[in-house]
Structure 1
Amino acid sequence: MILNGVHVLVTRPEHQAENLSCLIKQRGGIAVRFPTLEIVPLDDVEPIKTTLENLDSVHWVIFISANAVNFALKANGGKIRFMESVRFAAVGQSTALAMKIAGLPVDLVPEAGYNSEALLAMPQLQQVEGQNFLIVRGEGGREQLATTLRSRGATVNYLEVYKRIIPRIDNSPVVELLEQHRLDVITVTSAEALQNLHFMLGERNNELLSLIPLVVVSDRIRRIAADIGFNRITVTDKPIDTAILETVITCVTGE
């Protein structure tokens, strides 16, 4: 029981929080679920269907996340028709797994790393002049992948298949833990989730929040957290639940 009853805030979307929460419980901690993002489908799915049924001129389809895979499938009746001329890429291993479960080929996934930079470093994406890319993602998001591919001579279009909203949930259990100094570690897996956390708990609680050890999954989120005012920030080795758990344990035990 390494975590010995410490309270760990889990900010993952509700449908993605179960595994990390169970891992925390198995190691003796108390997972405090407080989703700061909700992932929902777009109101109009017809453009998604039209795009996915007409991939003839596309050379590469890149899925940004497992959510991108799953919401694309939902919008298109549970399947994506593909031809041998289309290659499919995943930003990371979780995305690749979602693609395999969906019956899609995974032609390219970074050997190391779980972000756009790692994918862009792959040899297959160095010489892409004249090729057409379709990036499947949620509304908004980072532009680096498209910007870099365009700088290499590719044509890039987006297919947005979901949107992120701020959940409407009661914040009083978390505020109470904050005020009682019983919230021990915070876990955050995206910059937007971190920013929403600040908003959802209210300005008067932000100072207390900033004193709690924060576990994040990338150096980019670490920099944003530091700008917001967090003082004790640790970055995981990988953006996966087991790595998040091990980092939480390190924060709590110092080992």
Structure 2
Amino acid sequence: MPAPCDLGGRGVLVTRPAAQADGLCRLIEAANGRAIRVPSIEIAPVADPREAGALLAESWDMLYFVSPNAVEQALALVPDGSWPGVEKVAAVGRATAQALTDAGRAPELVPEQRFDSETLLAMPELADMRGRRVLIVRGEGGRALFAETLRARGAEVRFAEVYCRLRPAFDPAPLLSRWTETVAAVTATSDEVMLNLMEMLGPEGRAPLLATPLVVVAERTAEKARGLGFVQVAVAERAEDAAIVRALCALGPAAAG
């Protein structure tokens, strides 16, 4: 795939979990950018997975996986990725769908446009959920929108919380000492990633961070970022690596460097 632009050697802060950053970093570097890895979230299994494991072993009308992390951690508890006791499997986006396909069950429901719960909820297959049993596979404390909406449509909804999100330990001093020269743009794929990054950079890092162009993957994150004081926020058209790089390209040389 040809690079969408020439980033001109500009540095891009990549804040995804360490195990999930390679694809985005490769695309940034293919576009002649410099990927600066600062994982702002760490994924770990829940302390006690017994309840989630029991729920995953039941039969359901629908399983909804909110992320590739949800797929990975669920498979650690119930290794049969074909989900024989499940009528339909839903995925929030392409990366999650690919993880499910690789495990043995391509999902029946995947949004075709923006990859989020709102788009999935708009699919006609989910319009009438009366009497349906739905299990949402997620991390601890995820968004409530999907569950609340399906309950309002008549479904019984449970959660299998299979992972937790931690803020990594980080010494910001070396990065902040050269921020202006090295960081031209920042990426954040969730509200929590963005907020963790602010905490990790500390009070001294707040002003340079807010002054740096930010690329996010959801309008709700963009709204929160603007409320925090970010000067320039761009929303990628999809929650995908290629779309994030296209958004970085759209910042242009003047904005991004």
TM range (shorter): over 0.9
Q: Partner of 2:232 in structure 1?
A: 232
Q: Partner of 1:151 in structure 2?
A: 152
Q: Does 1:38 align with 2:42?
A: yes
C-alpha deviations, 1:81-117, integer Å up to 9, x for none? 6336521111112111111001024121122220001
Which of 6, 22, 25 aligns to 2:29? It is 25
CA deviation after TM superposition for structure 1 residue 28, in Å: 1.3
CA deviation after TM superposition for structure 1 residue 75, in Å: 2.3
Identify unmatched segments of 5+ residues in structure 2: none
Q: Distance in 1 between matches of 2:254 and 2:123?
A: 36
- How does 1:68-87 map onto structure 2 within 5 Å? 68-76=70-78, 78-80=79-81, 82-83=83-84, 86-87=87-88
3-state SS, counterpart of residue 109 of structure 1? coil
CA deviation after TM superposition for structure 1 residue 25, in Å: 1.3
**% identical aligned pairs:** 39
3-state SS, counterpart of residue 4 of structure 1? coil
3-state SS, counterpart of residue 120 of structure 2? helix
Q: Partner of 2:243 in structure 1?
A: 243
Q: Report the aligned-residue RMSD.
A: 1.7
Bigger mean CA deviation after superposition, 107-116 or 31-40: 107-116
Q: Distance in 2 between matches of 1:47 and 1:191?
A: 27
CA deviation after TM superposition for structure 1 residue 127, in Å: 0.8
CA contact 2:114–2:237 (8 Å) conserved in 1: no
CA deviation after TM superposition for structure 1 residue 227, in Å: 0.9
C-alpha deviations, 1:93-145, integer Å up to 9, x for none? 21111110010241211222200011100001001111111000000111100
Q: Distance in 2 between matches of 1:38 and 1:26?
A: 26
Give the length in aligned residue pairs. 251
Q: Partner of 1:111 in structure 2?
A: 112
CA deviation after TM superposition for structure 1 residue 246, in Å: 1.3
CA deviation after TM superposition for structure 1 residue 26, in Å: 1.6
Say if 1:151 and 1:29 are closer, same or farther in 2 by CA, change over 3 A.
same
C-alpha deviations, 1:21-76, integer Å up to 9, x for none? 11111221111100100011112222232222222xx2111111111111100122
Bigger mean CA deviation after superposition, 30-39 or 40-49: 40-49
Q: Partner of 2:222 in structure 1?
A: 222
Letter in 1 for 2:21: A
CA deviation after TM superposition for structure 1 residue 80, in Å: 4.0
Q: Partner of 1:14 in structure 2?
A: 18
CA contact 1:134–1:156 (8 Å) conserved in 2: yes
Q: Distance in 1 between matches of 2:49 and 2:91?
A: 22
CA deviation after TM superposition for structure 1 residue 254, in Å: 6.5
CA deviation after TM superposition for structure 1 residue 207, in Å: 1.2
Letter in 2 for 1:214: L
Identify unmatched segments of 5+ residues in structure 1: none
Q: Distance in 1 between matches of 2:186 and 2:116?
A: 22
Q: Partner of 1:121 in structure 2?
A: 122
3-state SS, counterpart of residue 86 of structure 1? strand
Task: List, as ranges, runs of 4+ consecutive aligned residues in structure 1 with deviation greater than 4 Å.
Answer: none
Q: Partner of 2:194 in structure 1?
A: 194
Q: Partner of 1:60 in structure 2?
A: 62
Q: Distance in 2 between matches of 1:218 and 1:86?
A: 30
Q: TM-score, normalized by length of structure 2? A: 0.92
Q: Distance in 2 between matches of 1:83 and 1:73?
A: 13
Q: Partner of 1:140 in structure 2?
A: 141
CA contact 1:52–1:81 (8 Å) conserved in 2: no
Q: Distance in 2 between matches of 1:61 and 1:125?
A: 12
CA contact 2:41–2:167 (8 Å) conserved in 1: yes
Q: Partner of 2:53 in structure 1?
A: 49
CA contact 2:127–2:153 (8 Å) conserved in 1: yes
Letter in 1 for 2:87: V
